[in-house]
């Protein structure tokens, strides 16, 4: 993606293309306004703001923010989403999303309070300028990878990169083993941020009546990094070639670009 700083791409952009190239085109290339903000996206953003506030309090004040403080951050962020220019699509059967968010955040706060103390290294750590290269040809692409790492902690003499997710249910082994986000962050931690070889962990908070925090350490080996580079270079070459096919399937039911997409079918 062209920016003032040059050509950059983020992991979320790569993932969006993988879900549906046409959706990527409508959103990122043609700049079509989404019809709505999907509830999981709005809720996840508000939750992330609260997670960040909890960890920032640990970094800056050496204490875990009281749960009421974190809840206020969540409520403020949610209110901004609901008052934003694009309506949040509220799912009818899922109950009040604010209640769901409060339950999730209370569970997360309890998890942080009862976990062994950790040393916070960074919260919302940005990176950029990561080279992307084709592992088969050695070619370096013009685009550079950029992103923001949720959290870095120091544990047992090494840095651990932690990514937070909110989800309807716990992540499966396949999701944990193959999600590209922490693979990308492992490369970034080593090549740009100076964190060296890091540990990797997902913390998944479930949106359930009784939410749980799934904390799972994962490993990304050299082959995993090669897979990530193949994914990134493949996506970027497809974008460069203007290959934006519709990937009709499960994502269509909640697609904010479905109306614009339907015009292409006539
Ligand atoms: S409606 Fe389906 S095929 Fe069309 S852009 Fe959305 S996800 Fe892609």
Residues whose CB falls within 8 Å of the CB of residue 73, separated by 6 or more in sequence, listed in order: 49, 50, 52, 53
What pLDDT is recorded for position 3? Answer: 42
Query: Tell me: the pLDDT tens digits for 151-204?
Result: 999 999 999 999 999 999 999 999 999 999 999 999 999 988 888 899 999 999
pTM assigned to the model: 0.93
* Shortest-distance Cα residue to atom 4 of ligand 1: 261
* Nearest CA owner, ligand 1 atom 2: 252
**Nearest alpha carbon to residue 144 among 82, 72, 233, 224:** 233
Here the tokens at position 78 are 């949610």
User: What's the gap in Å between 43 CA and the centre of ligand 1?
Assistant: 22
Q: Quick one: tokens of 52?
A: 């960040």
Among 3.90.320, 1.10.20, 2.30.30, 2.130.10, name the CATH number for the domain at 2-263. 3.90.320
| Cβ–ligand 1 contact at 245 (below 6 Å) | no
For the chain of 266 residues, list the mean pLDDT of each consecutive stretch of 10: 66 96 96 95 96 97 96 97 93 80 97 93 95 94 96 95 96 97 96 90 95 97 96 96 96 95 76
Catalogue the long-range contacts made by 74-78 (C-beta closer than 8 Å, 24 or more residues apart). Answer: 74/46, 74/47, 74/49, 74/50, 74/101, 74/102, 74/105, 76/49, 77/45, 77/46, 77/49, 77/50, 78/42, 78/43, 78/46
Place of tokens 């070459």: 237
Q: Is the CB of 260 under 6 A from ligand 1?
A: no
pLDDT recorded at residue 12: 95
Question: Angle at which helices 222-240 and 11-19 pack, to 10 degrees?
Answer: 70
Give the pLDDT confidence score for residue 117 in this predicted structure. 86
């Amino acid at each position: 993606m062209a920016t003032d700083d040059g050509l950059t791409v983020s992991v979320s952009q790569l993932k969006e293309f993988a879900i549906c190239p046409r959706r990527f085109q409508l959103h990122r290339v043609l700049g079509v306004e989404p019809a709505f903000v999907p509830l999981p996206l709005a809720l996840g953003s508000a939750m992330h703001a609260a997670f960040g506030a909890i960890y920032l309090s640990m970094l800056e004040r050496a204490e875990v923010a009281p749960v009421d403080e974190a809840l206020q951050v969540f409520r403020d962020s949610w209110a901004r989403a609901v008052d934003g220019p694009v309506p949040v699509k509220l799912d009818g059967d899922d109950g009040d999303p604010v209640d769901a968010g409060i339950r999730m955040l209370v569970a997360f706060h309890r998890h942080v309070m009862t976990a062994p103390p950790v040393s916070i290294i960074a919260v919302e750590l940005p990176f950029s300028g990561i080279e992307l290269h084709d592992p088969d040809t050695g070619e370096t692409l013009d685009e550079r990878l950029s992103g923001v790492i949720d959290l870095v902690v120091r544990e047992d003499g090494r840095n651990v990169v932690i990514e937070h997710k909110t989800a309807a249910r716990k992540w499966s082994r396949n999701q944990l083993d193959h999600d590209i986000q922490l693979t990308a962050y492992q490369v970034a931690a080593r090549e740009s941020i100076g964190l060296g070889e890091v540990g990797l962990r997902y913390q998944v908070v479930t949106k359930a009546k009784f939410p749980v925090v799934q904390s799972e350490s994962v490993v990304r080996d050299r082959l995993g990094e090669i897979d990530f580079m193949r994914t990134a270079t493949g996506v970027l070459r497809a974008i460069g070639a203007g290959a934006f096919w519709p990937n009709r399937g499960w994502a269509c039911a909640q697609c904010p670009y479905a109306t614009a997409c339907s015009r292409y079918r006539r």
